[in-house]
Structure 1
Amino acid sequence: MNTLLKIFTCCLLAIVCLPGFAYTERNLLQKEGDLDKVKASLVMDQKWVPYPAYADRAGWDKLLGSNKDAIIARGEKLLDYQWQVVKATDYLEYERSGNRKIMEDPFGKNNGAIADLMMAELAEGKGRFIDQLINGVFQSCEMTSWVLSAHLGSQGAQLSHRSLPDYKEHIIDLTAGDMGSLLSWTYYFFNKEFDKVDPVISQRLRKELQERILDTYMNVDRFWWMAFNLQPGGMVNNWNPWCNFNALQCFMLLENDKDVLAKAVWRSMTSVDKFINYTHEDGACEEGPSYWGHAAGKMYDYLQMLYDGTGGKISIFDQPMIKNMGEYIVRSYVGNGWVVNFADASAKGGGDAQIIYRYGKAVNSPLMKQYAAFLQKQGSSSLSSGRDIFRTLQSVLYANEMAQEKASYQVPAYTWYPETEFCYMSNKKGLFFASKGGYNNESHNHNDAGTFSLYQNTTPVFIDAGVGTYTRQTFSSERYSIWTMQSNYHNLPMINGVPQSFGAQYKATRVQFNPRKNTFSADIASAYPSQSEVKSWVRSYTLSDAGLRIEDAFTLNKIVAPNQVNFLTWGNVDLSAPGEVLINVNGEKMKLVYDKQAFSAAKEVIELTDPRLSNVWGKEIYRISLNAKNSSLKGKYVFTIQPVK
C-alpha cells in the first residue's frame, strides 16, 4: 500500500496540520551516495546513452518505427526556415512595457526549429537537414545569451538587473539550460558530421557550452534556484530540478574527465536535495497541475538521468515520497481535460502522457502508468516535446512499451494531502469538490487560503480562474494588483470589506478533514490582515449526494463594513429569484441557495481579453457577490449548492 493510500486509510479521524514552509533536511540523494560512490558509479564516455549512434540507420529505423515519417515531415517544413533575429529592442521591451513575448516568440521559434531539424536528421540520416541545423547552431552561438529577457531582469539573475544581456557574465536560467542540453545532444550526435563541413562549427559549439553552462554551473553559487544560499523560509520551486537537470545532461554528454564529472554530478545532487527537502512529504505540487511537469516531472527526468549515468547505483525511486510526488498529477485530474487548479495553474490539462508513464514505471506505480495510457488514448499528447529533446527522445524510446499498457482511470472517493492541505472529494452523483488550506506565500501564489472549486460531471461550475499571460507585473511588487491573484476573485469572503493579504503569516489554521463525514474545514481568519478585525472565520465544506454545504461561522472584533461572500463561475447565470442563483454551464445546471433575508446578490461581469484565460473560459466569467444586509459580531452563514435536473 503506497504512502498516500496509507494516509487516506488511516485518516478516519480529523487530521489537523500546521501550514507553512515544508523544508525538512531529508537529503535523500546525498544519503544515497557520497562523492566517492558517485565517482565509482559513473558510466563514462557516454556509454549510458540508450539511443543508436547517428550512423546506425537500422537502429534508428527500429527505434522510430511508424513515427519516422511524421518526424521527417516535421523537419521538412523547416528546410526553408528563416532564422529569426532577436533584436536588442526585443529584450528592452520587457523593461519598457512588461511584454515578454516580443523577445520569447522569435527565440522560441528558433529553438523549436533546431529540435525538429535534429530529430528529422536522426530519422532520415541522409544529411538533408544538416545545413539548416548548422545555421541554427551557429546563430545560437552568436547570441550573447540564451536567457529570457524576463529572467535576466526580474529574477535578479543578471548582476545589472537589466533585461538586455550583459556580455561580461553568463547566466543559467530555464531557457539557457534547455538550450544547453539541446545543443549538447546536437553536439553528441552530429559533431563528426559538422566536422565534414568545417571543424570550427563543432569547436565553436563545444566552447560555448563549456563557458555558458559547464564552467558557469561549477563556479557560480549565487543563482537563487540552486538554493545553496537558502535562507529560513526561502522558496525552492520548479526552477531547481529543471535547471539542475539541464546542467546534468550537459555534463553527462560533454565531460569525459571522471573527477570533474563526479564533482558536477555531486553538486547537482546537493542542489536537487534542496527541492526535495522543500516539498511536502505528501507529494502535492503547491504550484498546481500545470507546473507538475516542470517540478516533479523535471525531478523525475533528473533522477532518470542520474540512474542511467550511474548504472542504476544512485537511485531514490524506491522512496515513497518520490512516488507520492508522481501520483499527484493523477489524483488532480477531474476528467474531460479538466484538472484541479490552484495558484498559477490552468484549469485545463492533465499532464503529458509519456512523462507520466515513464515516471510511473520508475516508481512502480500502476496508477500512473494506466492513467498515462488513458491520456494517450484520449489523444492528449504527442511524441514531440519541442526544445526539450530529452523528453522527445525518451518518448520515442518508450513508445512501443507504453502502447501495450492498460488504459484506466477512476476518480478516487477522496484525496487528502495533510501537509500541503489540499482536499478532493467526489460522490456517485457526479460531483467533484476541491479545496485548500495553506498559506499565502506558496510558489506561484494566489491569496486563496480556504477557496474551493466544484465540478459536475467533470465540468467546472464554481471555478478558479487561473492566471493570465505572464508580464513584468506578474512577478513584481505589483502582482497582487492583478485581479486573478486576489482572494476577492476566488470563492471566498471579504471580511469587513477586506480581502486576504500576501505573506507567509497569512494562512489557514485548524485545518481538518473528516472522510467519514466528507467534511473539510479551516479557520481562515489568519489569512486576513488586522484591518479585517476578524477573530475567527471557520469555513466548512460538506459534500453529500444532495450537493455541497458551505458554512461560515465567524467572530469579529468589531464591525467596519458589511461582509461579502464571493463565488466565481461561468456559463449562464440567473439571479432573478431572490435566495437562488441558477447556473447553467454547457447543460450542467446547479443552484446556489442563500438566505434572502440575510443577503442581496449581485453579478459582476469579468471580460476576458487575455487569451490565456479566454482559451479556457471563453469571453467572460462572473463574480457572484452575496452582500450581507445586516452586520453582527458573531454569526453563521450557510450556503448550499445543488444539482438541478
Structure 2
Amino acid sequence: MTGSALPRPAGELTSLLRDIRAAAADDTMPELGYRAYRDYFDTGNRLRYERRYFRRRARLAARAAQALLDPDTDLGPLSDTLWSVCDEYTWALPAHVRHSADQDRGPEQCLDLFAAETAHTLAETVAALDGRLDRRVADRVRAEVERRVFTPYTDPRPLNWEGYANNWEAVCAGAAGMAALALLRGSPADASRLAAMLDRSRAAMDRYLAGFGGDGGCAEGVDYWVYGFGYFVYFAEALREHTGEDLLDSAKVAQIAAFPHRVALGGGAYAPFSDASERPWLPAGLLTRLAERFGTPPARVVPSLHDDHCYRWGHLSRTLAWFRPALPESAVEATSLLPDLAWVVSRGRFAFAAKGGHNDEPHNHNDLGHFVLHTRGRSVLDDLGAGEYTAGYFGPDRYDHLHPSARGHSVPVVDGQVQLPGPDRVAKVLRHHDDGESVCFDLDLTAAYGVAGLRSLIRRFRWWPAGRLELVDEIDTERDLPVEEVFVSRLQPSLSPGSADWDGLVTLTHGCSGTAVEEVVATDHHARPDRVFRLTCTTTAPAGHSAHRFVFELR
C-alpha cells in the first residue's frame, strides 16, 4: 500500500468508484485566500474555511484514487491538483496553527492532523506513480512534504500533541509515519531518517493505546474511534508490510477493535456520548481488516466517497484496497458493560445506554448519569452529540454551549446548580448486574455537584429489554433542596398530570409537582439548527433521605 497502485476493488464498490470519477471530473478548486484564512481568527468560525479546504481534499483524493486505479488516466488534472496543494499557505487548519509555536515554526510548518494527512496523501500518490508523474511535479511534492512535515517531525523538540494520548497521537504520527514509509526508501541517509521517524511514531502509538482502559472503550465516541484507531491500524499494517512487526498483535488492541460493536444501539445507530454522532460513518476497509484480524463484525454498508466530509486518504485508499464482501458474521452480546469508561449499553428491539466516567474526558461533556432510550430507529431520550466546532467551543466558555453542557443532558439540576467540569467530578459505579431478565446500573453522582448540604446523590437504573426503564434518584441532604429532573429529546413531549409522552414512542410516569418544556435552538456539528426540548420535572428533596422515581415505557 505504501508504494504501489491500488488493486482492482471489489465489485460492490461500484457506487464508490462512480463517486470518485464524478469528483475527479469536477474542476472546482476553491481558493484558500487571505480573507478565508483570517476568518477563523476574526470570528471564531471554523466551517467557512474548512468547507473550502475539504472540497480541495475531495478533488485531491478522487484524482489520486482514479490515477492509481486506472493506468490510462490522464495525469494532467492530478498534476494541477498536486501543484495547487503545494501552493497552499499551510496544510494545517487555522484553528490548529498555534500548535507550531512550540517549535518556533510558522503556520506552513504546523504539523497538525490535516497537515499530516495531506502529506500522507501526497507521499503515497507520488510513490505509487513513480515514473508516470512529471518529475517536476513529483520533485515539488517531495520537497513540500519534506519542508512542511518531515522537518518538524525529525526535530527532537516535542510537538504540541505528543502526550495527548488521544486521536491526535494516532493520526498525526500514523500519517507522518506512512508518508515516510512511502518516500524514504532510497539512500542510507533516508533509511536512517526513516528509522528515527518510525521510532517516534511507535512512541506516539504507545501513548495512544495507553489512553484506553482495559475495556477498549473510546471516551471520545465512535467517530473519534474511527479517526484515531483507523489511523493506528493503517500505520500498523504499513509498518508490518515494511518490517514484519505487528502492532495489532495485542489483547488490548483486540478490545479496542470491538468498541463500536459493543456500543451499537442497532440499525446503524451508536451511543453518541461526548462529541460523537448517533450515526457515525465506519470505513468499510477498516472494518474488513479488523474482521479478518479479530473476528469483529464486517462492513455492512457500501460507502460513498462523501461519507467522510474530510475526504481522508487513509480511509478511502484502504477501503479500495481492503474491502471484501460477505465475511462471516460474528455475534455481538446483547448487553455490554465497559467498566473503565463506565458505560452500559443494551440492545435488541429497544436499546438503552447510560454513562458514568468523569467530567474531564477527551471531548468532554458534563454528563455523568446521562442516558439514551432508543426505539423504532431513533433515540427519543437523546444525546445531542457534537455541537458546532468554533473557537469558543474549545475555549474557556465551552460549557456555555448547549451540547457539551450539563443543560444539554438528562441529568439533575440540584439547588439551581448543574454538574461541574473537572477530573474530580467523577461518577462512581456502585453496582452493575445483568441477570438476562433486567440490567441494573447504579452510579454515585455526588462528586459531580458543588451543592452545599448535598450529602449524596445516587442514580439507579433498572432496564428491562422488553422496553421499560425505571430510574430512581436517591438524594441525601442536610436541608431541603429544590431539584429539577431534566430529560432531553429532539421530540417535543406532550404533558399530562404525572406523565409525559414523546410522540407515542416513549412515555414517562413521575410523581413531580411541576413540569415544563423548554425549547432551545442551538447549532449542530455542521452548523445546522438543532431544535432541542428540555422537559423539566420539578420536585423537592427534603432534609434527610428521599427517592424520586421515573418510569419510562418504550413502544
- Do both proteins adopt the same fold according to a TM-score greater than 0.5, normalized to the shorter chain? yes
Is contact 2:24-2:66 (8 Å) kept?
no
- Paired residues for 1:529-608 under 5 Å: 529=450, 531-544=451-464, 545=466, 547-559=468-480, 562-575=482-495, 577-584=496-503, 589-595=505-511, 598-608=512-522
Is contact 1:433-1:455 (8 Å) kept?
yes
Report the CA distance shift for 1:66/1:338 in structure 2 as closer, same or farther (over 3 A): closer
Is contact 2:477-2:541 (8 Å) kept?
no
Report the CA distance shift for 1:144/1:435 in structure 2 as closer, same or farther (over 3 A): same
CA deviations on 1:23-49 (whole Å, 9 max, x unpaired) are: xxxxxxxxxxxxxxxxxxxxxxxxx74
The alpha-carbon deviation at position 306 of structure 1 amounts to: 1.7
Q: What letter corresponds to residue 379 of structure 2 in structure 1? A: P
Is contact 1:329-1:351 (8 Å) kept?
no
Report the CA distance shift for 1:520/1:466 in structure 2 as closer, same or farther (over 3 A): same
Q: Hey, what does 2:284 align to over in structure 1?
A: 353
Is contact 1:508-1:523 (8 Å) kept?
yes
Report the CA distance shift for 1:49/1:85 in structure 2 as closer, same or farther (over 3 A): closer
Of residues 319, 337, 342, the one that matches 1:395 is: 319
Secondary structure of 2:297's aligned partner: helix
Is contact 1:72-1:120 (8 Å) kept?
no
**618-627 vs 496-505, greater mean Cα deviation:** 618-627
Of residues 393, 404, 411, the one that matches 2:326 is: 404
The alpha-carbon deviation at position 216 of structure 1 amounts to: 1.2
Please say if 1:436 is aligned against 2:355.
yes
Report the CA distance shift for 1:556/1:328 in structure 2 as closer, same or farther (over 3 A): same
The alpha-carbon deviation at position 486 of structure 1 amounts to: 1.5
Q: Hey, what does 2:67 align to over in structure 1?
A: 121
Is contact 2:370-2:409 (8 Å) kept?
yes
Unaligned runs of 5+ in 2: none
- Paired residues for 1:330-341 under 5 Å: 330-341=261-272
Unaligned runs of 5+ in 1: 1-47, 54-59, 228-234
Of residues 49, 63, 67, the one that matches 1:103 is: 49
Q: Hey, what does 2:162 align to over in structure 1?
A: 226
Q: Hey, what does 2:202 align to over in structure 1?
A: 269
Measure the CA separation in 1 of the matches of 2:449 and 2:441: 20
CA deviations on 1:228-286 (whole Å, 9 max, x unpaired) are: xxxxxxx4211110111101111101112332222221121112101111211110110
- Paired residues for 1:167-246 under 5 Å: 170-195=109-134, 199-227=135-163, 235-246=164-175
Report the CA distance shift for 1:349/1:278 in structure 2 as closer, same or farther (over 3 A): closer
Q: What letter corresponds to residue 322 of structure 2 in structure 1? A: Y
Report the CA distance shift for 1:98/1:442 in structure 2 as closer, same or farther (over 3 A): same
The alpha-carbon deviation at position 622 of structure 1 amounts to: 1.1
Measure the CA separation in 1 of the matches of 2:15 and 2:472: 58
Please say if 1:472 is aligned against 2:413.
no
Report the CA distance shift for 1:65/1:563 in structure 2 as closer, same or farther (over 3 A): closer
Q: What letter corresponds to residue 481 of structure 1 in structure 2? A: D
The alpha-carbon deviation at position 533 of structure 1 amounts to: 3.5
Report the CA distance shift for 1:443/1:189 in structure 2 as closer, same or farther (over 3 A): same
Is contact 1:72-1:124 (8 Å) kept?
no
The alpha-carbon deviation at position 68 of structure 1 amounts to: 7.3
Report the CA distance shift for 1:338/1:248 in structure 2 as closer, same or farther (over 3 A): same
The alpha-carbon deviation at position 579 of structure 1 amounts to: 0.6
The alpha-carbon deviation at position 323 of structure 1 amounts to: 0.8
Of residues 497, 521, 531, the one that matches 1:620 is: 531
Report the CA distance shift for 1:244/1:583 in structure 2 as closer, same or farther (over 3 A): same
Q: What letter corresponds to residue 626 of structure 1 in structure 2? A: C
**78-87 vs 278-287, greater mean Cα deviation:** 78-87
Q: What letter corresponds to residue 96 of structure 2 in structure 1? A: H
Is contact 1:431-1:547 (8 Å) kept?
no
Is contact 2:3-2:182 (8 Å) kept?
no
Of residues 108, 112, 136, the one that matches 2:58 is: 112
Secondary structure of 1:71's aligned partner: helix
Q: What letter corresponds to residue 435 of structure 1 in structure 2? A: A
Please say if 1:131 is aligned against 2:76.
yes
Measure the CA separation in 1 of the matches of 2:499 and 2:225: 38
Measure the CA separation in 2 of the matches of 1:579 and 1:184: 63
What count of residue pairs does the alignment treat as equivalent?
547
Please say if 1:166 is aligned against 2:80.
no
Measure the CA separation in 1 of the matches of 2:228 and 2:345: 21
Please say if 1:152 is aligned against 2:97.
yes
Q: What letter corresponds to residue 278 of structure 1 in structure 2? A: G
Q: Hey, what does 2:20 align to over in structure 1?
A: 74
Secondary structure of 2:340's aligned partner: coil
Measure the CA separation in 2 of the matches of 1:348 and 1:66: 22
The alpha-carbon deviation at position 194 of structure 1 amounts to: 3.1
CA deviations on 1:440-494 (whole Å, 9 max, x unpaired) are: 0000000011111111244312111112221111111110110111213211101
Report the CA distance shift for 1:147/1:417 in structure 2 as closer, same or farther (over 3 A): same
Of residues 110, 118, 140, the one that matches 2:85 is: 140
Report the CA distance shift for 1:346/1:133 in structure 2 as closer, same or farther (over 3 A): same
The alpha-carbon deviation at position 347 of structure 1 amounts to: 1.6
CA deviations on 1:353-391 (whole Å, 9 max, x unpaired) are: 3311212212x22x323xx2xx22xx4556986643233
Secondary structure of 2:258's aligned partner: helix
Secondary structure of 1:294's aligned partner: helix
Measure the CA separation in 2 of the matches of 1:546 and 1:70: 38
Q: Hey, what does 1:288 align to over in structure 2?
A: 221
The alpha-carbon deviation at position 564 of structure 1 amounts to: 0.6
The alpha-carbon deviation at position 557 of structure 1 amounts to: 3.5
Is contact 1:498-1:532 (8 Å) kept?
no
CA deviations on 1:201-244 (whole Å, 9 max, x unpaired) are: 222211111121112111053323222xxxxxxx4211110111
Please say if 1:526 is aligned against 2:466.
no
- More strand as a share of residues: 2
Q: Hey, what does 1:249 align to over in structure 2?
A: 178
Q: What letter corresponds to residue 583 of structure 1 in structure 2? A: W
Secondary structure of 1:194's aligned partner: coil
Report the CA distance shift for 1:73/1:634 in structure 2 as closer, same or farther (over 3 A): closer
Measure the CA separation in 1 of the matches of 2:527 and 2:261: 23
Q: Hey, what does 2:550 align to over in structure 1?
A: 639
The alpha-carbon deviation at position 567 of structure 1 amounts to: 0.4
Report the CA distance shift for 1:84/1:50 in structure 2 as closer, same or farther (over 3 A): closer
Report the CA distance shift for 1:114/1:494 in structure 2 as closer, same or farther (over 3 A): same
Report the CA distance shift for 1:98/1:193 in structure 2 as closer, same or farther (over 3 A): same
Measure the CA separation in 2 of the matches of 1:496 and 1:627: 11
